């Protein structure tokens, strides 16, 4: 276990003016508080916070962060209190220790909803001070290093959580070394056989290519010496997890991998990077499509470097990364490498908001305030954690970083939510392109907008960014709420009119508490959904009002509160104020009062038929379709079983035909007839003779001697349909004619 003076010496190597007293006090306090506590391995518990502190010294963190690491388990696991830590170490350290204490109680491997909520808390804590993230990641890294002492089932759960959340988060913050080690440790636990196989293959490849690697290093150093460029060349080998993931995602064998080895060229200045690149490309051929300049266009996590692949010595492909020493430090330590987190002035003002990595975190936190469910937030955050980036530009030259596979819709939402919501088209590099186009690095995207646009729900399956998905989902919910609200307004207008009162939304505000709703729109939407009876709203506004009409109606209507909906063709549906699954679907003919008109797809709540159709005389039921109104099904339709577990969507409806408007209704029949010339014409003649209309016809099955066809008809009512089926059955060429339900 590291001694007290050893810890101080480690910090002094990179910070000579270290506050030794703070580190000594934190060391002694934590050791005394943890006392004789033991870890699962049997080691003293204090060895854990001490190792976490040691990991942070490798990142060259300041003494305040090291002190927080030493103290991070004291409030949770000992008798220490926040007040005591504030008094001894100051409120800044006390706040960070308390934040980490709350995070230590989060079990991210719990069921999905809890995991999602805990991830929100984790990111919120990080957003307040990035040092929370650094200590948390160091804490997780040491726990992963000692994972073998845990139960096997717990080991796998913790490793999966590390692979899903912590490793990608470290990558997003630019901490590549930590990300690689976390992935490596998790991979070894989750898939030990694959880890062992890949590790052995890599070891074998290294032994066989040891001389080649040395030869390439010598060739590079000789080249740069010739051009007078002072450099440092380091070889590197891909990690087992990186190799395994590439083999899986690209369906490659181990032998097909060409970039197992790479070389890092470290120079003194940015100008030196481009001089080194010029020397390399004038000496060896570049592999087309394998050049990326992340110096002029940094990655979203602040990573900067030039990547190129050449056909180098021995005609082998050689992957090179060219960067400065500062860039190399940022590539390894990410946000921890920024001196802003290490000097006292920066600590007083908190972490900088200038880094791209931290800007991503801020944007993620902004989504928390936009009403997403925890599960949506978890899904969207994971989407953004795992994607590589492409870089696109607005017409004014603004750089937008997006996940690979992003579309112009993602681009529009990345610029601003309002731009995404009003997007109707896009120009990519000056050409009109489909909104589903996959964007590429360097594309210039110009979004075409319309204020009349509402984002279609189908966009959610097209986009890849969490922000776009959240905004589309939110817009869809708002559109459905608006439909219900519009229907509720119409219903209440009629209800108030029957009561002899004038309706206005202002009258609802004083009685919101009686209706247990937070605002007027909630009341209107609840009435539209059938959750709140219009009579209850009238009575809430006018407590002395008595609806004499209700006392004279049948018990069922008095309990259910039926409303009438007429479509554009004049057909009137009666819909109750409360949905009741499969109950009360009436056989027809009753006519209500006070119809609320629904004008097809242009109205507030469209009413449409299921594919199998329904005709007057059928017992029917309505299913609420979010975003598209009500679909009418015959009660015997097998399709209704799909909604058995969604009783809130069932709506009782009944026929009420306007006798002044004659209209045919859809029905589907199946006819099996002799396969002979003229058969189809004869069937069509029977249909026409019965004053029915064929809408569509398709051949379901054809054999040498018979044909089965599906016919979508339009008929007046159930009697009309039954009469037509009877006449078809009587025809000599027809062996079977029946109605199809679902």
Residue-wise pLDDT for 554-589, tens only, equals 333 333 333 344 443 344 454 444 334 443 343 333
**Which residues neighbour 293 within 8 Å (Cβ) at sequence distance 6 or greater?**
306, 307
Look up residue 323 and give its two tokens. 């960067």
Query: Are 485 and 528 a contacting pair, CB within 8 Å?
Result: yes
Q: Measuring CA to CA, which residue among 62, 82, 77, 80 is closest to residue 16?
A: 62
Mean pLDDT for the stretch of residues 297-301: 77
Q: Measuring CA to CA, which residue among 106, 59, 101, 61 is closest to residue 82?
A: 101
pLDDT digits (tens, 9 = 90+) for 214-253: 888 899 999 999 999 999 998 888 888 888 887 877 777 7
Distances from the Cα of 622 to the Cαs of 532, 579, 602, 606, 611, in angstroms?
Answer: 18, 9, 19, 12, 13
Distance CA 452, CA 715 (A): 38
Q: What angle do CA 634, 640, 641 make, to 5 degrees?
A: 145
Q: Measuring CA to CA, which residue among 366, 474, 471, 476 is closest to residue 410?
A: 471
Distance CA 477, CA 396 (A): 33
Q: Give residue limits of the domains in the chain.
A: 4-191, 194-336, 553-663, 665-739
pLDDT at 628 over 70: no
Count CB neighbours of 328 within 10 A. Answer: 20
**Which residues neighbour 553 within 8 Å (Cβ) at sequence distance 6 or greater?**
none
Residues paired with 18 in a beta bridge: none
Look up residue 311 and give its two tokens. 């056909």
Q: Measuring CA to CA, which residue among 86, 66, 68, 81 is closest to residue 20?
A: 66
Mean pLDDT for the stretch of residues 417-433: 91
pLDDT at 707: 85
Distance CA 690, CA 667 (A): 14
- pLDDT-derived band at 103, boundaries 50, 70, 90: low
For the chain, percent of residues with pLDDT exceeding 90: 23
pLDDT digits (tens, 9 = 90+) for 362-403: 555 555 445 455 555 555 555 455 455 677 888 887 778 787
- pLDDT-derived band at 532, boundaries 50, 70, 90: confident
pLDDT at 620: 85
Distance CA 305, CA 262 (A): 14
Q: Measuring CA to CA, which residue among 333, 300, 336 is closest to residue 131?
A: 336
**Is 164 annotated in the active site?**
no
Residues paired with 607 in a beta bridge: 630
CATH class for the domain made up of 665-739: alpha beta
Distance CA 527, CA 495 (A): 11
What is the chain's length? 742
Residue predicted with more confidence, 396 or 110: 396
Query: Are 224 and 276 a contacting pair, CB within 8 Å?
Result: yes
Residues paired with 231 in a beta bridge: 267
Distance CA 240, CA 202 (A): 8
pLDDT digits (tens, 9 = 90+) for 49-99: 999 999 999 888 889 999 999 998 898 888 889 899 999 999 889 888 887
Tokens 């953004």, residue?
384
Question: Per the residue annotation, which of 20, 43, 58, 76 is the catalytic one?
Answer: 76
- Assign 3-state DSSP to the chain and report helix, strand, coil percentages, each to 5: 50, 20, 30
Distances from the Cα of 735 to the Cαs of 162, 452, 669, 738, in angstroms?
Answer: 65, 54, 14, 10
Distance CA 344, CA 341 (A): 8
Question: Per the residue annotation, which of 9, 77, 177, 217 is the catalytic one?
Answer: 77
pLDDT at 490: 81
pLDDT at 485: 84
- pLDDT-derived band at 600, boundaries 50, 70, 90: very low
CATH class for the domain made up of 194-336: alpha beta
Q: Measuring CA to CA, which residue among 590, 589, 607 is closest to residue 598?
A: 607
**Is 506 annotated in the active site?**
no
Reported pTM: 0.52
CATH number listed for the domain at residues 4-191: 1.10.3210.10
């Amino acid at each position: 276990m590291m001694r007290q003076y050893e810890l101080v010496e480690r910090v002094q190597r990179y910070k000579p003016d270290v506050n030794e007293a703070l580190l000594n006090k934190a060391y002694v306090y934590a050791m005394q508080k943890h006392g004789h506590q033991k870890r699962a391995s049997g080691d003293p518990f204090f060895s854990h916070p001490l190792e976490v502190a040691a990991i942070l010294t490798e990142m060259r963190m300041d003494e305040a962060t090291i002190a927080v690491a030493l103290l991070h388990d004291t409030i949770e696991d000992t008798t220490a209190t926040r007040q005591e830590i504030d008094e001894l170490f100051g409120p800044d350290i006390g706040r960070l220790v308390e934040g980490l204490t709350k995070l230590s109680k989060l079990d991210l491997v719990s069921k999905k909803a809890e995991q999602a909520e805990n991830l929100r808390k984790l990111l919120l804590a990080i957003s307040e001070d990035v040092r929370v993230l650094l200590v948390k990641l160091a804490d997780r890294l040491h726990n992963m290093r000692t994972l073998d002492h845990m139960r096997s089932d717990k080991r796998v759960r913790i490793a999966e959580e590390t692979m899903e959340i912590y490793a990608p988060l470290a990558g997003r913050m630019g901490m590549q070394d930590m990300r690689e080690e976390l992935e490596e440790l998790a991979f070894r636990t989750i898939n030990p056989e694959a880890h062992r196989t890949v590790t052995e293959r890599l070891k074998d490849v290294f032994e066989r290519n040891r001389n080649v690697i040395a030869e390439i290093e010598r060739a590079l150093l000789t080249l740069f010496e010739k051009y007078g460029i002072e450099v440092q060349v380091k070889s590197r080998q891909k990690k087992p997890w990186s190799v395994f993931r590439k083999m899986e995602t690209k369906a490659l064998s181990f032998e097909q991998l060409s970039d197992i080895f790479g070389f890092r060229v470290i120079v003194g200045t940015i100008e030196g990077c481009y001089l080194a690149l010029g020397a390399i490309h004038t000496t060896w051929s570049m592999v087309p499509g394998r050049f990326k300049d992340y110096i002029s266009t940094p990655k979203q996590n602040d990573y900067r470097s030039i990547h190129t692949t050449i056909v180098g010595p021995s005609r082998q492909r050689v992957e090179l990364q060219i960067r400065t020493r500062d860039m190399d430090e940022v590539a390894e330590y990410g946000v921890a490498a920024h001196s802003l987190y290490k000097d006292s002035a920066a600590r007083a003002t908190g972490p900088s908001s200038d880094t791209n990595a931290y800007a991503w975190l801020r944007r993620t936190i902004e989504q928390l305030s936009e009403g997403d469910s925890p599960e949506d937030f978890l899904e969207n955050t994971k989407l953004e954690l795992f994607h590589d980036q492409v870089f696109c530009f607005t017409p004014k030259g603004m750089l937008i970083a997006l996940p690979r596979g992003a579309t112009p819709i993602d681009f529009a939402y990345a610029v601003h939510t309002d731009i995404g919501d009003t997007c109707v088209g896009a120009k990519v590099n000056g050409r009109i392109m489909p909104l589903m186009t996959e964007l590429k690095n360097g594309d210039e995207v110009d979004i075409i907008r319309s204020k009349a646009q509402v984002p279609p729900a189908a966009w959610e399956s097209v986009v890849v960014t969490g922000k776009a998905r959240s905004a589309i989902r939110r817009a869809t919910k708002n559109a459905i709420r608006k439909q219900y609200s519009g229907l509720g307004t119409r219903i209440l207008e009629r209800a108030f009119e029957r009561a002899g009162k004038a309706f206005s939304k202002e009258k609802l505000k004083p009685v919101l508490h009686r209706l247990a709703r937070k605002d007027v729109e909630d009341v209107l939407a609840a009435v539209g959904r059938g959750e709140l009876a219009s009579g209850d709203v009238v009575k809430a506004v006018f407590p002395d009002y008595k609806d004499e009409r209700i006392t004279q109606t049948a018990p069922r209507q008095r309990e259910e509160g039926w409303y009438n909906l007429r479509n554009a063709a004049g057909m009137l549906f009666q819909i109750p104020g409360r949905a009741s699954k499969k109950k009360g679907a009436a056989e027809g003919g009753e006519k209500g009062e006070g119809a609320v008109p629904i004008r097809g797809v242009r109205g507030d709540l469209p009413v449409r038929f299921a594919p199998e159709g329904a005709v007057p005389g059928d017992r029917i039921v309505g299913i609420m379709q979010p975003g598209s109104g009500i679909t009418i099904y015959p009660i015997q339709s097998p399709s209704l079983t799909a909604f058995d577990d969604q009783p809130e969507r069932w709506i009782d409806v009944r026929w009420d035909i306007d006798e002044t408007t004659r209209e045919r209704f859809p029905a589907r029949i199946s006819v099996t007839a002799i396969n002979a010339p003229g058969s189809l014409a004869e069937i069509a003649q029977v249909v026409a003779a019965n004053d029915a209309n064929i809408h569509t016809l398709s051949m379901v099955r054809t054999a040498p001697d018979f044909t089965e066809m599906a016919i979508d008809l339009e008929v007046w009512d159930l009697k009309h349909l039954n009469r037509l089926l009877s006449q078809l059955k009587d025809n000599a060429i027809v062996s079977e004619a029946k109605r199809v339900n679902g």
